[in-house]
Each structure stands twice: as structure tokens, then as C-alpha cells.
Structure 1
Amino acid sequence: MTQHTLAGRTEQEVLWYQRRSFIQAAAAWTAMGGFAAAHAQQRSNIVELVGDATINGERLLPQRQVQTGDQLATGPGSHLVFAIGNSSFLVRQNSRFSVERGITLNTVSVLRMLTGAVASVWGRGTSRQIVTPTLTAGIRGTGVYTEVRPDEGYRSYFCNCYGTVDMSAGDDRLVSRSSYHQSFWAEAQPQQGRLLAPAAAINHTDEEMEYLARLVNQQTAWEILGRKGVKDGRGYMDPMPADAHPAMQQR
């Protein structure tokens, strides 16, 4: 198992993929054809639900479908894994968010996060975003991990685990190109004149992203390359990259 750093999260939260119930559910999900088969057969697209969650203010049951346009929340000690179209999501405890409709019923245009944490893998597509109170991230096809921290003024943490993301916070704008965990803070108030700042890679694991990618028939960048870099938040495979973190390059 890869090393990981925790900051305000527990081992139990980041090791959810080791649960026997999830391994069995993920195997069944894949064997039964994934989201396309679930949609065609009108089965649930929830891979696993542990604990209590709500959908549009009602209790979420494992047999229900999560659709674009829905508002969801997880309670203490809960987590939720589901897929819509070519995107998959892991929702940690105490999270509130919505999945907004894109060009089709089965395309998520915006993952709008209010509180909590979500790991997600997105297939290629256009006009898709993750939006928090302090950050907008344009997704092109990638795996990312996002946290919103209400106890820190809704400061956001964002890791572009792999792929390309267009990022903005206030007037700060940059493009993140990552092959191995490029991490940012999106501040509620400018720090040294900036709202986007470099961060360490915290609170998520390689294995989480690999399992989420597998649910939608994808692989992470490091699986495709067959190697990993240094998980320091800079986002590069080379332990001594020629380029600085993009938040250090912006003017």
C-alpha cells in the first residue's frame, strides 16, 4: 500500500477500499457491466453505501439511483460510492454536495461541493467543473480529490491526482498538469497576495483513485506509465522536476 499523509482525517476514512463489502460490491458492479448496464436495467448506480445519507432531503437507500440534479449529504461515519456515466465518486462523511446535469441526463456538468470531501474520476469530456465556495476547477478528464473546510472559512483543498485541470480562485488562474498528485489550497482570503497556493498531498491514497478509475473502466496515469513519482504535492514523476509547482509560477 502506498504511503499517505492525514490532516484532519482518519485511517478508516481513507482505507474504505479495503472493506470486504466494497471489494465484493465493486467486483459485482464490474461483472454486471458497470453504469451502462445499471442504467439500461434500471438498477441502482450506488456501488456501496455505509451509514446514513440523504438524497434531496430524504433518506438514501442502496437500491435508489443517484441522478444528475440530485442534492446529497452523508452523515458522521458514513461514506458513499456511486457512478454516473463515465465518472465515479467517493463521498466521505459529513459531506454536502450536488451533481448538476450536463448535456445529457447521464453527464455531470458540475460537482458543487458545500462541505466535506469527495474523490472523483472523470472520463474525457467538456464543460465540466468542480465548484467549491473558494475554487472552480475545469475538468477535462482526470482523477481529483477535493475538500471543503467550513471551520477554516470554507478554505478548499484540491489535488489534481492526474490529468489537466483549469483552476481559478478569484482573479487567480492557472492550468494544472499532473501525472502524480499536484495539490493546492484555495484560500478564503489572500495569502501573500494569492488565493491559490501549493499544498502537500493529504487525506487520499493511490488505491482509492485506482478503484474509482476501475469502476468506470479507466486507469490512473501511474498505472498506465507503470511507475510512480514522489507524493509531495508537486505533481511530477521526476523527483527533481524542471518546473516549479504552478501556484509558484503565477504572477
Structure 2
Amino acid sequence: MSDHILRGRTEEEVLWFRRRGFLQAAAAWTSMGGFAAAWAQQRSNVVDLQGDAIVNGERLRPGAFIQSGDQLATGPNSTVVFVVGSSAFHVRQNSRLVVERGATLNSISVLRMLTGAVVSVWGKGSSRQITTPTLTAGIRGTGVYTEIFSAEAYRTYFCNCYGVVELASGGDRATSRADYHQSFWGEPQPKGGRLLTPARAINHTDEEVEYVAKLVNQQPNWVAMGRRGEKDGRGYMEPQPEYMHPVGPPAPAPAR
């Protein structure tokens, strides 16, 4: 089990992938051919549902299909795992988001997050984004964890677990290239003059990213490389100085 730090989350939330029901559903999803087969056979693309989820104002029923263009919300103690095209998502409890349509019905242009937390894995492609109230992430092919801290003026936590992401918050910009969890805050107000600041890896595990990736036949970099790195939020396999983070160490407070 990989190391993880929790902030406002429980062990049960981050170890959801251990549930027998999910493991059976994930194995069945893969053995039956994944999304292409589900689409061709007009089967649901919902791999796992716990509790209640609302899609376009109506309760998500067994056998339903979540597609681009839909609005999705989960309630307390409710989660949903689904796949659209080459992208897979685990939406945690108390989340609200919009899955905006891309060039085709089975492609996503924007995952517009309003509240909550999502683990997502994206196949290679262009013109995809994750947006929150305080951060925009341009997605290539990658696995990421995004969480909005509503009690902190919608401060956003964003981890590029592996891959390449273009980040923006206000006028701040950064390119994130990570093999192993490169983490950021999207600040609601500047900290040390910055709206993009470095963060540690919190509230998600290697294993849950791995399970979501398997649903779209992906491997995180650390699986392909056969080893884990330093889970310090800097994104590298080997320990690195603090300044090696793309947005550097926290800026000093301005002189008075």
C-alpha cells in the first residue's frame, strides 16, 4: 500500500477500490471489452455506483449511460465510476460537475468541476481541460486528482499523478511533467504574489489511480517503470531540491 496523507478525508474514501463489488465490476468491465464494447452493445458505461448520483436532475439508475454534455452530482457517502471514450473517472461524494462535449459524442472537451473531488485518467488527445473556480488544467494524456476545498473559498488542490499538464490560475502559468505525483494549489487569493503554489501529495493513493487507469487500458508511469518515487509533491522518482517544483518553493512574504 502506498503512503498517503489525508486532509479532511477518511481512509474509507481513499481505499474505495478495495471493495469487493468494485473489484468484481472492474474485472467484468475489462473482460467484456471496455468502453468500445459497452457502446456497441448499448450497455451502461457506469462501472460502479455507490449511494445516489444525479444526472441532469434525475437519479442515476442501473443500466444508465453517462455521456458528454451531462451534469452529474453525488450526495453524501455516494460515489460513481464511469468511462467515456478513452477517459475514466471516479467521482467522490458531495461532488458537482459538468462533462462538456468535445468533437464527438464520446469525447470530452471540459470537465467543469464545481465542488468535490475526482480521480481521472485521460487518453492521449488535444483540447481537453479540467476547470475549477480557481484553476484550469490543459490535459494531454495523464492521470490526475482534483479536489475543491469549498470551505477555503474554493481553493483547488490539483495533482498531476503522471503525464503532462498545462496549468493556469489567474495570470500564473506552469507546465507540469510528472512521473510520480506533482501537486499544486490554485489559490483564491495570491500567496506571496502567486496564485499557483506548490503542494504535497494528499487525499489520494497510487492504487486508486492505477485502478482507474486500468479501465481505459493505461498504466501510470510508476507501474511501467516498476518502482515508486518520492511522494513529496514534486513529481519525480528521485528526491529533488524544493526549487525543482515547477512553481518553486513558497515565495517569501513581501517586506513591510
TM over 0.5: yes
CA distance in 1, matches of 2:92, 2:86: 20
RMSD: 1.4
% of aligned pairs identical? 68
Q: Is the 8 A contact 1:48 1:62 kept in 2?
A: no
The 8 Å contact of residues 5 and 203 in structure 2, kept in 1 or not, is answered as: yes
In structure 2, the residue matched to 1:40 is 40
Q: 2:224 matched to which residue of 1?
A: 224
Once the two structures are superposed, residues 222-251 of structure 1 have per-residue CA deviations (whole angstroms, 9 ceiling, x without a partner) of 011111111010100111369610111899
Q: Which runs of 4+ in 1 moved over 4 A?
A: none
Query: How far apart are the structure 1 equivalents of 2:242 and 2:198?
Result: 16
Mapped partners of 2:207, 2:242: distance in 1: 27
Quote the residue 1:126 is aligned against: 126
Aligned partners of 2:6, 2:85: CA distance in 1, in Å?
A: 31
Deviations, residues 166-192 of structure 1 (Å, cap 9, x unaligned): 000000001001110000000000011
SS of 1:248's equivalent? coil
**One-letter code of the match for 2:159?**
C
Q: Distance in 1 between matches of 2:92 and 2:242?
A: 35
**Structure 1: runs of 5 or more not aligned:** none
- 1:208 aligned residue: 208
Give yes or no for contact 1:174–1:250 (8 Å, CA) kept in 2: no
8 Å CA contact retained: 1:72, 1:96 = yes
Q: Which residue in 2 is equivalent to 1:113? A: 113
What is the CA–CA distance in structure 2 between the aligned matches of 1:217 and 1:103, rounded to whole Å? 22
SS for the counterpart of 1:144 is: strand
Equivalent-residue separation in structure 1 for 2:63 and 2:226 (angstroms): 37
**Cα separation, 1, equivalents of 2:249 and 2:115:** 29
Aligned twin of 2:70: 70
Q: How does 1:9-88 map to 2 (within 5 A)?
A: 9-88=9-88
Query: Equivalences for 1:127-146 in 2 at 5 Å?
Result: 127-146=127-146
Question: Any idea what the Cα deviations from partners look like across 1:187-233, whole Å, max 9, x if unmatched?
Answer: 00001100000001000000001001100011000011111111010
2:185 equivalent in structure 1: 185
Query: Which residue does the alignment assign to 2:254?
Result: none
Q: 2:165 and 2:96 mapped to 1: Cα distance?
A: 23
**1:35: Cα distance to partner?**
0.4
Query: In structure 1, what is the equivalent of residue 5 of structure 2?
Result: 5
Deviation at 1:62, TM superposition (A): 2.5
User: Alignment partner of 1:109: what SS?
Assistant: strand
Aligned-partner Cα distance in 2 for 1:37–1:64: 15
Between the aligned partners of 2:39 and 2:98, the Cα distance in structure 1 is 20
Aligned in 2, Cα 1:149/1:242: closer, same or farther, shift over 3 Å? closer
* Residue identity in the other structure for 1:167: L
Aligned-partner SS, 2:248: helix
Q: Normalized against structure 1, the TM-score is what?
A: 0.98
Q: Is the 8 A contact 2:90 2:119 kept in 1?
A: yes
Contact 1:139–1:164 (CA under 8 A) maintained in structure 2: yes
